[in-house]
Amino acid sequence: MQRISARQCTLGGSVSVDGIGVHSANPVTLSIDPAPADTGYQISRIMEDGRIVGPVAVDFSRVTRTTLCTTVDLGESVSVATIEHVISALSGLGIDNAFITLNGPECPIMDGSAAPFVDAIVEKGLQVQVAMRKYIKIIRTVTVRSNDSFAALEPHNGRSLDLEIDFDNKVIGRQRMIFEWTPRKYVENVSKARTFGFMKDAQVLRQAGFALGSSLENSIALENDKILNTTPLRYEDEFVRHKLLDAMGDLALGGMPLYGKFRSYKGGHALNALVLSSLFANEANYEIVLADDLPLAFDSLDDLPQNLEIKSYLRSVG
Ligand SMILES: [Zn+2]
Q: At residue 4, does pLDDT exceed 80?
A: no
Distance 114 CA to ligand 1 centre (A): 9
The Cα 120–Cα 108 span in angstroms is: 14
What pLDDT shows up at residue 318? Answer: 25
| CA of residue 246 to ligand 1 center, whole Å | 5
As for how many domains the chain has, the answer is: 1
Q: What is the DSSP string of 45-99?
A: EE-TTS-EEEEEE--GGGEEE-SSS-EEEEETTEEEB--HHHHHHHHHTT--BEE
Residues 284-297 have a mean pLDDT of: 83
Residue-averaged pLDDT of the chain: 90
Kindly compute the dihedral angle of the four CA atoms of residues 41, 78, 151, 174, in this order, to the nearest 10 degrees.
-100
- C-alpha 69 – ligand 1 centre gap (Å): 7
Task: Please report whether residue 37 resides in a domain.
Answer: yes
| 80 falls within a domain | yes
Distance 210 CA to ligand 1 centre (A): 14
Nearest to 180 by CA among 33, 7, 47, 298: 298
For ligand 1, the distance from its centroid to the CA atom of residue 71, given in whole angstroms, is 12
Average pLDDT of the segment spanning 27-56: 96
What is d(CA 135, CA 6) in angstroms, rounded to the nearest whole number? 10
Radius of gyration of the chain (CA): 19
- Per the structure, the complete domain to which residue 239 belongs is given by 4-313
pLDDT at 68: 75
The Cα–Cα gap between 55 and 87 comes to: 15
Which range among 21-30, 37-46, 153-162, 201-210 shows the weakest confidence by mean pLDDT? 201-210
pLDDT bin (cut points 50, 70, 90) of residue 207 is: confident
Distance 9 CA to ligand 1 centre (A): 24
- Tell me what the mean pLDDT of segment 139-166 comes to: 96
Is residue 62 situated within a structural domain? yes
CATH code of 217's domain: 3.30.1700.10
Q: What is the pTM of this model?
A: 0.93
Q: Taking the CA of residue 185 as centre, how many other CA atoms within 13 Å lie in the half-sphere pointing to its CB?
A: 14
- The candidate with the shortest Cα–Cα distance to 261, out of 253, 251, 246, 271, is 251
Q: Residues with catalytic annotation?
A: 269
Confidence of residue 316 (pLDDT cuts 50, 70, 90): very low
- pLDDT confidence band for 313 (50 / 70 / 90): low
**318 within a domain of the structure (yes/no):** no
pLDDT at 282 exceeding the cut of 90: yes
